[in-house]
Amino acid sequence: MYHCGLLLVLLDLFLVVGSVSQLEIDRHLELGREFLAKGQLQDALSHYHAAVEGDPNNYLTYYKRGTVYLALGKAKFALLDLDRVLELKPDFTSARLQRGNVLLKQAQFEKAEADFRHVLAVEPQNSDAYNALYKISPAQDDLLVADRLVRNGDYAAAAQQLSRVIEVSPWSAELRELRAECYEALEDYISAISDVRSTTKLQSDNTQGFLKLATLHYRLGQVEESLKEIRECLKLDPDHSKCFSFYKKIKKVAKLLTDANEYENERDYTNCIDSALPILKLEPQVAKVRFIAHQHLCKCYTGISEPSQAIKNCHEALNIRKEASVYCDRAEAYLAAEMFDDAIRDFKEALEIDMSLQRAKQGLHKAQQRQKLSESRDYYKILGVPRTASKRDIIKAYRKAAQKWHPDNFQEGEEKKRAEKKFIDIAAAKEVLTDDEKRAKFDQGEDPLDPESGKHQQGFNPFQEFHHFHGSPFQFKFHFN
């Protein structure tokens, strides 16, 4: 008696739970439909998951979830759901047509054809199935031609042929990988990146795809982007040997490039050089990475007044890529070396590339003026100081030169006249180079003391430093502090 009563209680409990469970399933289906209507796909997917778990034999629930997977671009999971639908209900024509379309987009031509013919056997007038079936044979023919072109090394034609197939089968990771290989062979790395990125979305856990993306970005000299992609590979597989090996290398290169860029911006040219030089050792082959290193060295060697090294690295950079900014960099190095004709030529080359580039226009004017000045007097040369000399160094050089060439140190005659001329030039150099405004004008190619320029300072007296002496400016002994 007791056992019968217990069985009845358990049976009642089972019926209640079953009833509640069905209510819950219906509620999940309703919420899934509502979220799907609002375009909230992830929320809809969550409720369809729950509904499938509650009733794993309801073909319509699988079909609805498969529809959401397709909307999310997850064709692999959609296909699994459609397979399950057709296991549960083989005569569900809409699901078979849907599966055929997915298979066609994945370039699974034979399986797609079987589904479309099955639909047409049931519904001979189904235009969707007929139109899809009509695409398969031409796509297969195009793919055969593309394969032959790849084998023959005609990558441009192969890529064009593959593009026709991909229009029919855009969800095929294999087709995009093949076209990416063609683009890579053509050194069209931007297009190759686009295709490989698609494969990382079409295939889950695509470590090889992320490794390829990192490699392609690196070849373009996009080191930070390369580092980002290789980290994605390591997220998927921390023990991936090729990804880890490449990661170690580009992490070093990225750090050195960042440091070189920061030092260059801070005008710390010595450390800029120390950061850029190791890049050339770490990367002996990839031209566009070496280009960046040579470009930094070009600028920074100019900054420390080593124009020969600057010119050499500018030349290496231009051998890799002709850029207006690099022509300007080399022109500045030529100016530092007082190779005015070469500087003028490079500024003109920059303007050929970009006729609106102000840096090139201003640089050309400066180079032409400096060339003109070189035919007269160069105040830096007179004092024997570099153009980067500080005011303190200029005053020190002035005192040394003035003491050496003071006219009182020479006997009457040609030597004294030569000393007087030198002494006047030394005083003029000090006048210009210790005055910020006058020095800036001179650096731009204008002599502020040239009476022919019409812009010179009036009343310049080369002996004004010695106004406390009486008599002839040459009739005293010069005293230095």
Where does the pLDDT of residue 28 fall: very low under 50, low under 70, confident under 90, or very high at 90 and above?
confident
- Separation of alpha carbons 294 and 317, rounded Å: 5
> Are 71 and 38 spatial neighbours (Cβ–Cβ below 8 Å)?
no
Dist CA 312 CA 333 (whole Å)? 10
Whether the per-residue pLDDT at 465 is higher than 80: the answer is no
Whether the model pTM is above 0.85: no
- DSSP strand E in 13-64: where? none
Q: What is the domain partition of the chain in residue ranges?
A: 389-466
Tens of pLDDT along 467-480? 333 333 434 344 44
Of 32-36, 198-202, 359-363, least confident by mean pLDDT is: 32-36
CATH number of the structural domain 389-466: 1.10.287.110
Q: In angstroms, rounded to a whole number, what is the distance separating the alpha carbons of residues 365 and 371?
A: 10
- The C-alpha atoms of residue 337 and residue 331 are separated, in whole angstroms, by 10
Could you tell me the pLDDT band of residue 247, with boundaries at 50, 70 and 90? very high
Model confidence band, residue 132 (pLDDT cutoffs 50, 70, 90): very high
Burial string for 326-346 (b: 16+ CB within 10 Å, else e) reads bbbbbbbbbbbbbbbebbbbb
Cα–Cα distance measured from residue 469 to residue 68, given in angstroms and rounded to the nearest whole number: 98
* Residue 58 in tokens: 């309801």
Range in 63-67, 282-286, 316-320 with the lowest mean pLDDT: 63-67
